[in-house]
Amino acid sequence: MWGAATASYQIEGAAYEDGKGENIWDVFCREEGRIADGSSGDIACDHYHRYPEDVAIMSEIGLRAYRFSTSWGRIMPDGVGAINTKGLDFYSQLVDELLDKGVTPYITLFHWDLPQALHLKGGWMNPDIQNWFAEYAAVVSEKLGDRVKHWFTQNEPQVFIGHGYCTGAKAPGLRYGLSDVLQAIHHSLLAHGRSVQAIRAGCPDGLVGAAPTGTVAFPENETEADIAAARKATFYVPGRGPNNPGGTNSWSVSQEPTWNISWYTDPLFLGNYPEQGLMAFGSDVPKYTEEDMQLIHQPLDFCGINLYSGWQVRAADNAFGWEEVPMPQGSPLTAFKWPVTPEILYWGPRFFSERYGKPIYITENGMSSNDWVDAEGRIGDYARIDFVRAYLRQYKRAAEEGYPLDGYFLWSLLDNFEWPEGYRERFGIVHVDYTTQKRTLKESAKWYGEICQSNGESL
């Protein structure tokens, strides 16, 4: 399956319309100094009003699938209880429009815009959030489950907890200590489990997964030792202490204790926290029961993962068994200064499918670039074409070697509100002029459409 992805707060706008409840990003953006360009998602791409045009654009490009998120507070203004029919109807109409144009809808239930009312009750720190999230998942899947068959529960707990509750860089901007942060993660995992049950009830023939993120380590050389080192480093959980193997690449696991993969995904797919992570976090690990782990460990149909950038390692004779290999000076970077590391689209699917035995969806991948409309009215984002082609060739290699790949979603369909960066980073394959809301296909959109239509043959 080939598609593109977006998220509600980043594109919808209509922040205070038709009964939508306030969410933590509405509030965060109003706080002085939080967003680099002082902007907000109040209007964003105005997709709430322009969705027919946007779906027509998807069809013009040739996308087969579209991954979008529903806004919890637009559907349930207080997070629980009363349903805002207008909000729910918006998504229902969007789904109809997609199906009408032959684009398969994929829903993410939570892409960071937590209702403010729930934040005031403690948000992810409150153990009741599993009930709140299950209630919301039931409402959405009961309404849309007759037409939507693919579901992701949460997008990137590494970010909405790691940056929302630990570094404070993202809404709600908290800086809690490690034990509280691990508690919040545990609640998010429980909420995931409960929402899977709710989706299965609301949409019995649906397929369900999650969309976490992480940075895959890839081997310097394809020797058995380096491959084993990369596998180990990919799933490594840094603790809080001086025992983190340092790295020069800000994408390596060493930057934050919450920035890792397996603490979030092992519970989902294996029913336990990783042994090495339990050791690393020690007494900060929250108390949990066997029943908790069973609830978290719901059967899932696929393993979704958002992959942007990775880091290179080799086998080493140290306590970790691996060490980071710094990227050569002057290595390619995106506009955001993220390293360009196509290898992760081979090694990621390989390592994840080996460890969890599930088909893989790349739920996000893409890059920001400083795009503008040229004098001829074109947007020549050739760097993006080169980036996506290089990543997809690696993805193709994984497919050819038999690793199970179910789909790829390019981030993003439209230029949009890039969280604390505001509108300064453009990730879209469709350019948005935020003054006029005019959409223009970038060259990458035309190129990617052919990939979608040829099922990757034209790579």
Q: List contacts with ligand BGC (CB under 6 A).
A: 7, 10, 155-156, 159, 213, 306, 364, 411, 418, 427
Q: Which residue shows structure tokens 């707060």?
A: 9
- How far is residue 393's CA from residue 281's CA, in Å, rounded to a whole number? 37
In the complex, the smallest distance separating the C-beta of residue 306 from ligand BGC, rounded to whole angstroms, is 6
Nearest to 269, CA basis, from 316, 241, 306, 235: 235
In the complex, the smallest distance separating the C-beta of residue 9 from ligand BGC, rounded to whole angstroms, is 9
Q: Which residues of 230-257 are buried (b: 16+ CB within 10 A; e: fewer)?
A: bbbbbbbbbbeeeebbebebebbbbbbb
Catalytic residue among 12, 22, 97, 156: 156
Q: Which residue shows structure tokens 């052919």?
A: 450
**Nearer residue to ligand BGC within complex by CB, 40 or 155:** 155
Catalytic residue among 323, 324, 364, 425: 364
**Nearer residue to ligand BGC within complex by CB, 159 or 313:** 159
In the complex, the smallest distance separating the C-beta of residue 364 from ligand BGC, rounded to whole angstroms, is 6
In the complex, the smallest distance separating the C-beta of residue 229 from ligand BGC, rounded to whole angstroms, is 26
3-class DSSP state of 377: coil
**Nearer residue to ligand BGC within complex by CB, 84 or 153:** 153
Q: What is the DSSP letter of 76?
A: S
Phi, psi of 336, deg, nearest 5: -75, -5
In the complex, the smallest distance separating the C-beta of residue 411 from ligand BGC, rounded to whole angstroms, is 6
**Residue 142 annotated among the catalytic residues of the structure:** no
> Is 260 in contact with 217 (CB distance < 8 Å)?
no
Q: Which two tokens stand for residue 247?
A: 């790295």
**Nearer residue to ligand BGC within complex by CB, 76 or 413:** 413
Q: What is the DSSP letter of 163?
A: I
- How far is residue 304's CA from residue 294's CA, in Å, rounded to a whole number? 20
**Nearer residue to ligand BGC within complex by CB, 157 or 359:** 157
**Residue 401 annotated among the catalytic residues of the structure:** no
In the complex, the smallest distance separating the C-beta of residue 412 from ligand BGC, rounded to whole angstroms, is 7
Neighbours of 171 (CB within 10 A): 27
Residues sharing a CB contact under 8 Å with residue 266, sequence separation 6 or more, in sequence order: 235, 272, 273, 274, 277
Nearest-CB residue to ligand BGC? Answer: 7
Q: Which two tokens stand for residue 119?
A: 């934040």
Asked, as a colleague might, if the bond just before 412 is cis with ω within 30 of 0, I would say yes
Q: Which residue shows structure tokens 């948005």?
A: 432
**Nearer residue to ligand BGC within complex by CB, 230 or 307:** 307
The residues annotated as belonging to the active site are: 156, 364
